[in-house]
Chains A and B, each alone.
Chain A
Amino acid sequence: MSGRIDARFKALKEEGRAGLVTFLCAGDPDIPTFETILAGLPQAGADLIEIGMPFSDPMADGPAIQAGNLRALKNGISVARTLEIVRRFRAADPATPIILMGYYNPIHHYGRHGFLDDAKEAGVDGLIIVDLPPEEDEELCLPALERGLNFIRLATPTTDAKRLPAVLANTSGFLYYVSLTGITGVKSAAAGEVGEAVARLRASTDLPIAVGFGIREPEQAAAIARHADAAVVGSALVSELASCLDEEGRPQPGLVEAVLGKVQALAQGVRGARRK
């Protein structure tokens, strides 16, 4: 493994706090604006960074992230350009873990082995591929592990005791608990239920547990941070970004500051939360 994800969670543990994981779509709203935001994320308080790899048919995503995918595609993002963006980020920031999140088809089309080699070389640390369950591990998960890339799996409220071992088997880096059944960005999670679920997962794994889906505000992030090792925020950031576009979808002045400001507020929430 690259070790960046493990090292970051270890450092967070030593600090005695949970981390903030941010999600934005690569190339949203356009490549230069995205790169400016990305470069500012660590400073604003993102401990780990997820970058969405845009896809024409994001089946597990709600309206906000669907729109982000389409904006980015319209403005020329591709798998190859996403990897270039990571390469440039990595040249300036050797420590912040980068996790690519997306759907399998663009990787399949790029060529899965070539993709893994290029991702590793660009400085990617982990992958979350929504439509690759453990049943298809031979496709990408096992070859990724061989190359030292973490393959991060989602556990969901439908992951019962019978299913959990399959989900955990080849997961590394951290476990991503999706606190809701549903698509991204639509409902919000109840912290109490999340706490119980996280406790249940901890009984089966030593991996750090990040919790996402439906976290929009600093207080919610703080509530989650009391139970989990990290809180993941996606749709709320993508929506913040979208609110700073003009009618034609062009970024208005202040967009980058608004998105990073939101990240700062969320980071304060997470950092202020005392761990139980």
Chain B
Amino acid sequence: MSKPNSLRTGPDEHGHFGIHGGRYVAETLMPLILELEEAWEAAKKDPSFKAELDHWLKDYVGRPSPLYLAERLTEQLGGAKVYFKRDELNHTGAHKINNCIGQILLAKRMGKTRIIAETGAGQHGVATATVCARLGLECIVYMGALDIERQQPNVFRMRLLGADVRAVHSGSRSLKDSMNEALRDWVTNVRDTFYLIGTVAGPHPYPVMVRDFQSIIGNEAREQILEKEGRLPDALVAAVGGGSNAIGLFHPFLDDGGVRLVAVEAAGDGVETGRHAAAMTAGTPGVLHGSRSYLMQDDDGQVLEAHSISAGLDYPGIGPEHSWLKDIGRMEVASATDREALDAFQLCSRLEGILPALEPSHALAHVTKLAPAMGKDKILIMNLCGRGDKDIFTVAKAMGVEI
């Protein structure tokens, strides 16, 4: 429930969160995003839409995902109790499908027959291809050529699911470029195409719509922790690429001032090296892909290439709501390097018997610092938003192992 002075009422009618957000798109797309906004507003109020969404989330995705006490990790870290919100157990292995189901049901309501998406790690692409296969829609996934190289299992998975995976060779050949290419497709195929953005980026209404679809993570976690512990947690920790898994966990807790919200960015080789993806730590407000938010850019406002071992975090921007939560001091921003994420990946595998994706491994790397600094009576929830099977080749390579 949102109260007066609630932090949960944003954005305003133009999609602004403070100075961030907005609708910075070409005129060709404007009528489309206005149509989308209208359709989304109508669907939100329609009980039959919610019933349909709930059905798919329960029986197809496998929700609710468990809230799991990571006992051995907690013991080893010797501080706060660490819980994992296990969205890696969702069908397709990450939180991305929560949003895909929602948007594709919306696309069907709108009579769209062709779904396009961008993908970095391939998780959003796989989730999109999966739901399109099930609901019988044409699916085109744009993926940076560099990401295609490092996420081969997901590329093959998408193709098995019948998606047309198109390699993007422009720019840094990773996530931001695949988004450019998806936008180019959309601006060309305006009548039948629905652009399914995989994170809380893009022009209004995408950031708010994706947040709403992902908020099921935090809504469940809130209920589950109250049931298990009888109280709210002291901190929530999540990795941020564009920010969808993080805002999904955080949003239902925004008005609970006692709950710390910690977003963990990818520091790549280290923020000081310039080879990173830490937009909030090292960037300044800028306009890319339809909204204003923190952005990695040079002196001339040219967008810099991001660098991270994790393809899902390899993006030079961040969602507008995160940018605002940082500005008002409601959300803390931390970062973890490639090395730290790899260590956390192995730690989690050995202690908990869970291979985490490289994205939440960044969150975990920060948890290994944060939990010991908190008392044993404290409670922390980390979003384990994806499983690591897709990353084993990358991890093996980084460990110097041939498989």
List chain A positions with a Cβ less than 8 A from chain B. Answer: 55-60, 62, 66, 73, 78-80, 103-110, 130-136, 153-160, 163, 167, 178, 181-183, 186
Contact = CB atoms under 8 A, between A and B. Distances in A.
B30 A57 contact: no
B313 to A, nearest CB: 18
Interface of B: 14, 22-32, 170-171, 176-177, 180, 183-184, 187-190, 284-290, 292, 295, 297, 299-303
Contacts of A133: 23-27, 30
Given A57-B180, A105-B303, A136 B31 contact: no
A135 B187 contact: no
Contacts of A59: 26, 180, 183-184, 187, 289
B26 A60 contact: yes
Contacts of B22: 135-136
Given A66-B170, A105-B297, A160-B31, A181 B302 contact: no
14 contacts: A57-B303, A59-B187, A78-B299, A105-B303, A106-B301, A109-B284, A135-B14, A156-B27, A158-B27, A158-B190, A159-B27, A160-B31, A182-B184, A183-B187
A104 B180 CA distance: 15
Contacts of A136: 22-24
Contact of B24 (A104, A182, A183): A104
B23 A183 contact: no
A80 to B, nearest CB: 8
A133 B187 CA distance: 14
A182 B22 CA distance: 22
B23 A186 contact: no
Given A105-B303, A183-B187, A132 B180 contact: no
A2 B302 CA distance: 29
B302 A153 contact: no
Given A56-B302, A183-B188, A167 B171 contact: no
B28 A178 contact: yes
B contact face: mostly helix, strand, loop, or mixed: mixed
Contacts of A56: 171, 302-303
B24 A131 contact: yes
A217 B30 CA distance: 30
B28 A158 contact: yes
Contact of A57 (B31, B171, B187, B189): B171
A73 B187 contact: no
B302 A73 contact: yes
Given A57-B171, A135-B14, A182 B188 contact: yes
A68 to B, nearest CB: 13
Contacts of B295: 105
Contact of A105 (B23, B180, B288, B299): B288
A80 B299 CA distance: 11
Contact of B23 (A66, A135, A159): A135
A110 B300 CA distance: 7
Most buried by A among B22, B24, B27: B27
A182 B301 contact: no
Nearest to A111: B301
A158 B176 contact: no
Given A79-B301, A158-B32, A163-B31, A181 B187 contact: yes
A121 B28 CA distance: 31
A57 B176 contact: yes
Given A79-B301, A158-B31, A132 B188 contact: no
B300 A154 contact: no
Contacts of A134: 30
Given A56-B303, A154-B27, 7 more contacts: A59-B289, A79-B300, A80-B300, A105-B287, A109-B301, A158-B29, A181-B189
Given A66-B170, A73-B302, A109 B27 contact: no
Contact of B287 (A79, A104, A182): A104
Nearest to B182: A59
A108 B301 contact: yes
Contact of B26 (A80, A107, A130): A130
B360 to A, nearest CB: 28
A195 B99 CA distance: 43
The 9 closest A-B pairs by CB, nearest first: A109-B301, A106-B301, A182-B188, A56-B302, A156-B28, A78-B300, A131-B24, A56-B303, A154-B27
A58 B184 CA distance: 10
A75 B306 CA distance: 22
A62 B28 CA distance: 15
A272 B184 CA distance: 35
A132 B290 CA distance: 9
A108 B30 CA distance: 21
A56 B119 CA distance: 19
Contacts of A135: 14, 22-23, 30
Given A105-B287, A105-B303, A133-B25, A181 B180 contact: no
Most buried by B among A58, A59, A136, A160: A59
